[in-house]
Amino acid sequence: MSGGLEEALRSAVGAAHVLVDADLRAAYETDWTRRFTGAARCVVRPASTAEVVAVVRACAAAGVPIVVQGGNTGLVGAGVPTGGEVLVSLARLTSVEPVDAVEAQVTVGAGVTLEKLQAHARTAGLDFGVDLAARSSATVGGMIATNAGGIRVLRHGSMRAQVTGLEAVLADGTVLTRLDGLAKDNTGYDLTQLVAGSEGTLAIVTRARLRLVPLLPERAAALVAVAGTEAALELLAAARARLATLSAAEIFYPEGLELVRAYRQLPAPFAEPAGAYVVLECAARTDPTDDILELLSDCAAVEDATVASDRAGLERLWSYREAHTEAISTAGIPTKLDVCVPLGELTALVAELPATVASVAPKARVITFGHLNEGNLHLNVLDAGEHAEDVTDAVLRLVAAHRGTISSEHGVGRAKAPWLSLSRTPEEIAAMRRIKAALDPDGILNPGVLLPA
Ligand code: MLT
Ligand code: ZN
Residue closest via CA to ligand 1's atom 9 equals 325
Question: What's the pLDDT at 397?
Answer: 98
Q: Does domain 105-214 have CATH number 3.30.465.10?
A: yes
Q: In what order do the strands lie in the sheet with 175-178?
A: 105-109, 204-211, 163-169, 175-178
325 CA → ligand 1 middle, Å = 6
> C-alpha dihedral over 37, 41, 46, 50, to 10 degrees?
-130
CATH architecture label of 3-89? 2-Layer Sandwich (3.30)
- Does 158 contact ligand 1 (Cβ within 6 A)? no
- Does 400 contact ligand 1 (Cβ within 6 A)? no
Please tell me the CATH code under which domain 218-325 is placed. Answer: 3.30.70.2190
Which three-class secondary structure string do you get for the chain?
CCHHHHHHHHHHHCHHHEECCHHHHHHHHECCCCCCECCCCEEECCCCHHHHHHHHHHHHHHCCCEEEECCCCCCCCCCCCCCCCEEEECCCCCCECCCECCCCEEEEECCCEHHHHHHHHHHCCEECCCCCCCCCCCEHHHHHHHCCCCCCHHHHCCHHHHEEEEEEECCCCCEEEECCCCCCCCCCCCHHHHHCCCCCCCCEEEEEEEECEECCCEEEEEEEEECCHHHHHHHHHHHHHHCCCEEEEEEECHHHHHHHHHHHCCCCCCCCCCCEEEEEEEEECCCCHHHHHHHHHHCCCCCEEEEECCHHHHHHHHHHHHCHHHHHHHHCCCEEEEEECCHHHHHHHHHHHHHHHHHHCCCCEEEEEEEHHHCEEEEEEECCHHHHHHHHHHHHHHHHHCCCECCCCCCCCCCCHHHHHHCCCHHHHHHHHHHHHHHCCCCCECCCCCCCC
- Does 133 contact ligand 1 (Cβ within 6 A)? yes
- Does 325 contact ligand 1 (Cβ within 6 A)? yes
pLDDT bin (cut points 50, 70, 90) of residue 58 is very high
138 CA → ligand 2 middle, Å = 13
Q: Is the pLDDT of residue 228 over 80?
A: yes
pLDDT, tens digit, for every residue of 59-97? 999 999 999 999 999 999 999 999 999 999 999 999 999
Please tell me the CATH code under which domain 332-428 is placed. Answer: 3.30.70.2740
282 CA → ligand 2 middle, Å = 18
- Does 378 contact ligand 1 (Cβ within 6 A)? yes
Q: How far apart are the C-alpha atoms of 369 and 189, rounded to whole Å?
A: 37
Q: Where in the chain is the domain with CATH 3.30.70.2190?
A: 218-325
377 CA → ligand 1 middle, Å = 9
Nearest C-alpha neighbor of 140 from the set 162, 125, 155 = 162
pLDDT, tens digit, for every residue of 158-172? 999 999 999 999 999
308 CA → ligand 1 middle, Å = 22
Ligand 1, closest atom to CA 328? 9
Ligand 1: residue of 35, 158, 325 to mutate (most ligand atoms within 8 A of CB) is 325
Its pTM stands at 0.97
Ligand 1: residue of 32, 147, 410 to mutate (most ligand atoms within 8 A of CB) is 410
pLDDT, tens digit, for every residue of 279-335? 999 999 999 999 999 999 999 999 999 999 999 999 999 999 999 999 999 999 999
pLDDT, tens digit, for every residue of 241-262? 999 999 999 999 999 999 999 9
Ligand 1: residue of 378, 380, 408, 409 to mutate (most ligand atoms within 8 A of CB) is 378
Q: Where in the chain is the domain with CATH 3.30.70.2740?
A: 332-428
Q: Where in the chain is the domain with CATH 3.30.43.10?
A: 3-89
Ligand 1, closest atom to CA 133? 3
Q: Where in the chain is the domain with CATH 3.30.465.10?
A: 105-214
